[in-house]
Amino acid sequence: MKRRFALPPAAVRLFIAFAVLALVVVPWLPQVVYPVFVMKLLCMALFACAYNLLLGFGGIMSFGHAAFFGSAAYITGLATKHAGLTPEVGILAGTLGAALLGALIGSLAIRRQGIYLAMITLALAQMVYFLFLQLPFTGAEDGMQQIPRGRLFGVIDLRDDRALYYLVLVLTVAGLALIHRVVNAPFGHVIVAIREHEPRARSLGYPVDRYKLVLFVLSAALSGLAGSMKALVFQLAALTDVHWHLSGDVVLMALLGGMQSVLGPAIGAAVVVSLQYYLDAFGGWVTLVTGVIFMVCVMTFRSGIAGALTRPADDTQAPARRPD
Amino acid sequence: MNEIFGMPLSVIAGQTLLGLVNGCFYAVLSLGLAVIFGLLRIVNFAHGAFFMAGAFGAWMLHRYLGVGYWVALVVVPVLVGAVGAGFERSLLRKLRGLDPIYGLLLTFGLVLVLEGGFRLLFGSSGQPYPVPESLRGSVQLGFMILPIYRAWVIAAALSCCLLSWWLIERTPLGAKLRAATEKTVLTQSFGINVPLLLTLTYGVGIALAAFAGVLAAPILHVNPAMGSNLVIVVFAIVVIGGMGSMFGSIVTALVIGVVEGWTRVFYSEASSTVIFVLMALVLLLRPKGLFGREGPA
């Protein structure tokens, strides 16, 4: 085993502290980075980490997570634009809606395993896509536009980018903290046990399916939180939010960032979102380049950025290897 | 007796035919998917992309070289199949022994590359491809009008399925293939070149998809997204039918195609979602799929 360089945990903590500090000062330096772009980054980071809760820790590969992200965006839009509710209620409604959808899709999907589960989630997400294409209030191809940002608790005006930025930052950090907590709680350890050896976990008396379902719902709800925030930031819920391309993107973020780490996918999200942002100028190259990165990652970089930084880079520790 | 549930018979017959045609595409694709999965244990996400590449191949041959339909029907599957075999040999093979999701992810990446590439080259709007002259026109059957090209698609696709079935179930090559599916290591120890067999299987599976693509070129508009939308439906069909039996997946595909056609008659809003609803129902009632033998997956 070749031991290359590995970051000590203290360095990781320092890095996180530095990142949080940098994120706090962002809105005061709009000439350096565009705050709306950073808000998108934060939403996607939460989305990727929520997704990875399922993939990296549960070993459950969903290929339809855009359904939760996008549904929440539409529901938030529906609540704030059509029902005239305040943004915090909109976000709550979106998150709960995504959780409910997660319970529905999850209870069907966990009836099968592995790649079947991936195909099932993909197919069900495609169904959700068609629903949003056809439902009367979604604006079909145009998307749901001009979703109002409103006043938080009826007091704080979110049309101010800075106010919205801090709301998104607080919610994202809270979401990530929750994920961190869940992974390190007894619940998280049971999940890992189920991933590593499901029959054994079952024989120890753990209600395996219930654990999987709870994890699925949690992941869907947090993905929904990300989608709701995104709807407020861009004031738009569109079909691209429920499209399978986005489901693929979030898999790539988790893979690229490092499936075995809690915050790794956030790094992956930052890379993917920035890349797509800058590639947009070149027209149709986004899909092609995303695909190439995908293939390179799968072939050579399975432990991801976080994995490469925090542990010796050798392939035997690649996650989710099937015991033959 | 010209109406069923208030719908003219000719409309129903027409949609049944359309459904059968779609069902044939589903059948050829799910067959290739099942054969590849059986031997390589890989869910080939790129199946639809190769279908699209097949359609584009026919279109490009026609557009740039003036090559006709019948030549394309032979040449394109061979070319695309060779590309597929090369992909298996160079990249996919290296993932053997890892969790099968990596195979799914690699082929997903390939989908994005192919789709993005074709979109860069030809744009995302559909390209028309003419129906070959010998298959133009239609036959009046009394209760409906049968376009000859659609009849040809059904005949060609079904013979293709039949041929594959015969190849796998009734020939020595097929016997080796089935042996390798069941017990890879043991088959190899008998001196059968399993890695070559894997490459060949993948190549033939891809060629099947490309063949379906050429068949579809005159019916569907040739566009970069045509494959991925189809492959998601085929995934649902595979979940419904189970990947255990070839026969099962073909029948499921045809039935689903017809059901989809009928839905278009009676409740057209649901025609794009009915397959997924059926999949959900099957998962509730018979999680293994209709013809499923749950393998390691």
Sign of CA dihedral A40, A44, A45, A50: positive
Q: Determine the angle formed by the axes of helices A244-257 and A66-77, rounding to 10 degrees.
A: 120
pLDDT of residue A145: 82
Nearest CB neighbour to B272, from listed A130, A288, A318: A130
Query: B235: nearest CA in chain A?
Result: A119
pLDDT reading at A313 higher than 60: no
CA distance B231 to B46: 8
- Taking the C-alpha atoms of residue A318 and residue B263, their distance in angstroms, rounded to an integer, is 46
Interface check for B293 against chain A (CB to CB < 8 A): the answer is: no
A53-56 contacts at long range (C-beta below 8 A, 24 or more positions apart): A53/A179, A53/A182, A53/A183, A53/A215, A53/A218, A53/A219, A53/A222, A54/A215, A54/A216, A54/A219, A55/A251, A55/A254, A55/A259, A56/A254, A56/A259, A56/A260, A56/A261, A56/A264, A56/A265, A56/A319
Residue A162 — very low, low, confident or very high, per pLDDT cuts 50/70/90?
A: confident
The predicted-structure confidence for B33-44, as pLDDT tens digits, reads as follows: 888 887 888 888
Query: Are the Cβ atoms of B102 and A122 closer than 8 angstroms?
Result: no
* Rounded percentage of chain A residues whose pLDDT exceeds 70: 93
The shortest C-alpha distance from B102 to chain A (Å) reads 6
Q: Which of B120, B239, B276 sits opposite A126 (nearest CB)?
A: B276
How much is the ipTM here? 0.81
Q: What is residue B244's predicted lDDT score, i.e. its pLDDT?
A: 64
E-strand ranges in chain B read 3-4, 7-8, 138-140, 145-147
Residue B192: which pLDDT band, with cuts at 50, 70 and 90?
A: confident
Residue of B155 and B264 predicted with greater confidence:
B155
Quote the pTM value: 0.85
Smallest CA–CA distance, residue A64 to chain B, in Å, is: 11
Please give the pLDDT value at position A324. Answer: 38
pLDDT in tens, B98-125: 888 888 889 999 999 999 899 888 887 8
- Look at residue A150 and tell me whether its pLDDT is greater than 90: no
B110 contacts in chain A (CB < 8 Å): 291, 295
Residue of A nearest to B113 (CA): A288
Which of A193, A232, A207, A300 is closest to A77 using CA atoms?
A: A232
Angle at the Cα of B202 (from B199 to B207), degrees rounded to 5? 120
CB neighbour class for A89 (10 Å; exposed up to 12, middle 13-18, buried from 19)? middle
Query: Does the domain spanning B3-285 belong to CATH 1.10.3470?
Result: yes
Q: A129-133, A194-198, A298-302: lowest mean pLDDT where?
A: A298-302
- A255-282: average pLDDT: 86
Q: How confident is the model at residue B59 (pLDDT cuts 50, 70, 90)?
A: very high
Cβ contacts of B236 on chain A, cutoff 8 Å: 119, 123, 126
State the Cα–Cα distance between residues B203 and B199, nearest whole angstrom. Answer: 6
pLDDT digits (tens, 9 = 90+) for B235-285: 888 888 876 677 788 888 999 999 988 888 888 777 888 888 888 888 888
Burial (CB count <10 Å: 0-12, 13-18, 19+), residue A321 = middle
Partner residue facing A284 (CB), from B100, B109, B120:
B120
Residue B100 to residue A114, Cβ atoms within 8 A:
yes
Neighboring chain B residues of A320 at a CB cutoff of 8 Å:
99, 101
Instruction: Return the domain boundaries, chain B.
Output: 3-285
Q: What angle do CA A235, A223, A290 make, to 5 degrees?
A: 85
Chain A with chain B: Cβ pairs closer than 8 A:
130
